[in-house]
Every structure is written in structure tokens, then in C-alpha cells.
Amino acid sequence: MPLLALHHTGLLVKDVAQAAAHYIEVLGYRIESEPIDDPGQTARVQFLRLPGATHWLELVAPLGPESKLANALTKGGGLHHLCYEVADIVAATAHFRAAGCMVVSEPVAAAAFPGRRIAWLMDRQRLLFELLEAGPGPLGLSTLRP
């Protein structure tokens, strides 16, 4: 099995700042990153984490009305994807393709994770999931602090 760990859960929201304020005030999350504009994903994202938690919450909002995500948001938003950290993103992508998953995007540079790559897949139950190449840097599993 090529998965190392669940890295984050992505939630589709209308506005990252408003959603972050809600999760901080109501559920006790804390900010783990500044908002990040990702032109390749046509999204603005921000990472939050509960104190002591072992994975992040990624808030994902369309980067504008032409964003790939704008249409999905008309259906209400909510759970968007799960992201798993993997040691070898090329091998993991091949593994899931062979297992019948549809590759939505081959590995590409990740705007939110400098020096690392991501790939997008969809399983037979239509769950969108992201693979994140393991590596150093902010928001890496090795950087978790209580």
C-alpha cells in the first residue's frame, strides 16, 4: 500500500476567510498557513488544524467565477477531497490507476507545498482524492507540533 497517512481533508467553501473564522470560533481550529492562491487549481486555499491533530483541514474556494470549482460550489460545497501523503507519487499514481481509479491529474508541482508534487484521482465510489509527495517544508507530517 503506497499511502503513508491522511494528510488533510479538503472542504469546498465560498470564502476562505469567512470559513476560517467560523472553524476557528466554533470548532477551535487554528491557522496553519496564510491563504494561498493556486492558479493551476484555480483555487484559493488555507490550512487549519486542531491543536494536537495529526492532519489538516484545507479550505478550498474558487479563485474566481471562471474557476473549475465554481460549478461544484453551486451544489452547496462541503467535503471536496481527501489527501494522502505518499513516499513515491509516480508509483502511487500507477498503483491506483491499476486498481481502477481514474487519474484526474498526473503529478504536478504543488503551489501550497513548494518542492513537492500532487496528483488527483477519483475512485470507483466517485471519491476525489489527492496524493501529496512526502517531503520537507511547511505543512509536512514531519512538522506537526502539539
Of 94, 6, 123, 106, residue with least CA distance to 57: 6
Residues 6+ apart with CB under 8 A from 107: 89, 90, 93, 117, 118, 119, 131, 133
Count of domains observed in the chain: 1
pLDDT for the residue 1: 61
Question: What's the whole-model pTM score?
Answer: 0.91
Residue 119: give the domain boundaries. 3-143
* The pLDDT value given to residue 7: 93
Which grid cell sits at 45?
486555499
Residue 146's pLDDT is 46
SS3 call for 96: helix
Output the pLDDT for position 8: 95
d(CA 48, CA 65): 25
CATH number where 45 lies? 3.10.180.10
What distance in Å separates the CA atoms of residue 71 and residue 75, rounded to the nearest whole number?
Answer: 7
Residues of the chain with pLDDT under 70: 1, 137-146
